[in-house]
Amino acid sequence: MRVVYPAVLTVTLNAAVDKTYRVEGFCLDRVFRVEAGRVVAGGKGINVARVLHTLGVPVMATGFLGGHNGAFILDSLKQEGIPGDFVWTQGESRVCLAVIDPVAGTQTELNEIGPVIHPEEVWALEQKLAQLLPRFAYVTLSGSAPPGVPADFHARVVRLGHKAGVRVALDSSGDLLKYGVEAVPWMVKPNRAELSAIFGREPADVDEAVQMARRLLAKGIEVVVVTLGKQGAVWVSAEGEWFASPPEVEFVSAVGSGDSMLAAMLYAVIEGMSPPDVLRWGVAAGAANAAVFGAGFCTREQIEALVPRVAVKEKVSSL
């Protein structure tokens, strides 16, 4: 029997043409030949949409696009089978370059800041979101904002989500995260560094990350997931607290691993899984993405193969 899923809307304010190059022995002040490369539609919300689509969840991408790069992004999404409904800007969507050195195990990223967004374009996206949100069960707010976007933009969308009865998952940084949290989204997924935007410092260890997550829960946020890189991730909600350790994989690139994690967690929530299994799927997807070339190009089979290898422990505060 075919399962019909609630649909997800992903919001990417700073979409990009993502270029990933593999260069052995990469360093400064030398000329290199790129051994392998991949050029795709990118930006954190678009990466989320890609993995959701891979997992069979109906999804639409929205946000800002501009210029020739914007046309490439939209065309790439169409080729992948991901619908998009964007606001077009006067500027040019950015390019983000990641250089992977498989020998040294390094990853160097050069990310353009993005086009200047004008007030009328901000207003147009808010109006579009007000129209789109009632059609979806979930919305994700991911990544950075280009110049001109107000710091409280995500907070505004969270409030629009409340009015529309939509669950909002917030995965951002800086002031976008700080103000967004105050609007009380359904879920927030900060990493260790991003927590400093809210609390003024990073957690020293897993226990302190849990304490910070509890403080966010006290604001009314239902689910807080803190990612801790290679250490793993913690889940804190009214149902309990869990810590997940990622499986060992052959590392290729970390670009998009957090986005893959968010997408797989949403899939697991929609499937009605328990919190520890939701966390397990998310960590497995993050690891699967780290083992492939390009953000969000892990397959369902790769994720499923890693799910049983994710170790989940309850009552992380006692670890």
Spatial separation of the C-alpha atoms in residues 177 and 305, rounded to whole Å: 33
Give 38's pLDDT tier (boundaries 50, 70, 90): confident
Average pLDDT score over residue span 261-268: 98
Give 3's pLDDT tier (boundaries 50, 70, 90): very low
Spatial separation of the C-alpha atoms in residues 72 and 134, rounded to whole Å: 28
Q: Is residue 3 part of a domain?
A: no
Per-residue pLDDT for 10 more than 80?
A: yes
Give 315's pLDDT tier (boundaries 50, 70, 90): low
Tell me if residue 221 falls in helix, strand or coil.
coil
Per-residue pLDDT for 79 more than 60?
A: yes
> How much is the pLDDT for 158?
98
Per-residue pLDDT for 94 more than 70?
A: yes
Q: Is residue 5 part of a domain?
A: no
Tell me if residue 111 falls in helix, strand or coil.
strand
Q: Which domain holds residue 162?
A: 10-318
Q: Is residue 4 part of a domain?
A: no
Catalytic annotation present for 259:
yes
Q: Is residue 79 part of a domain?
A: yes
Q: DSSP letters along 28-60, please?
A: SS-----SEEEEEEESHHHHHHHHHHHTT--EE
Provide the sign of the torsion angle of the four alpha carbons 310, 311, 313, 316, taken in this order. negative
Higher pLDDT, 316 or 31: 31
Q: Is residue 311 part of a domain?
A: yes
Per-residue pLDDT for 89 more than 80?
A: yes
What does the pLDDT look like over 198-211, one tens digit per residue? 999 999 888 999 99
Spatial separation of the C-alpha atoms in residues 167 and 154, rounded to whole Å: 13
Q: Is residue 209 part of a domain?
A: yes
Spatial separation of the C-alpha atoms in residues 66 and 160, rounded to whole Å: 25
What does the pLDDT look like over 96-111, one tens digit per residue? 998 988 888 888 999 9
Q: Is residue 35 part of a domain?
A: yes
Give 2's pLDDT tier (boundaries 50, 70, 90): very low
What does the pLDDT look like over 266-304, one tens digit per residue? 999 999 999 999 999 999 999 999 888 777 789 999 999
CATH number reported for the structural domain that contains residue 201 in this entry = 3.40.1190.20
Q: Is residue 288 part of a domain?
A: yes
Find the length of the chain: 319
Spatial separation of the C-alpha atoms in residues 268 and 285, rounded to whole Å: 11
* Active-site residue, selected from the candidate residues 29, 171, 207, 259: 259
Q: Considering only CA atoms, which of 236, 227, 146 is closest in space to residue 191? A: 227
How many other C-beta atoms lie within 10 A of the C-beta of residue 69? 20
Higher pLDDT, 6 or 67: 67
Q: Where are the alpha helices (DSSP H) in 165-236?
A: 174-182, 196-199, 206-218
Average pLDDT score over residue span 221-244: 94
Total domains present in the chain: 1
Per-residue pLDDT for 74 more than 90?
A: yes
Spatial separation of the C-alpha atoms in residues 297 and 18, rounded to whole Å: 13
Spatial separation of the C-alpha atoms in residues 310 and 174, rounded to whole Å: 30
Spatial separation of the C-alpha atoms in residues 199 and 69, rounded to whole Å: 36
Q: Considering only CA atoms, which of 93, 41, 42, 44 is closest in space to residue 64? A: 93
Residue 173 amino acid letter: S
CA atoms within 13 A on the CB side of 143: 27
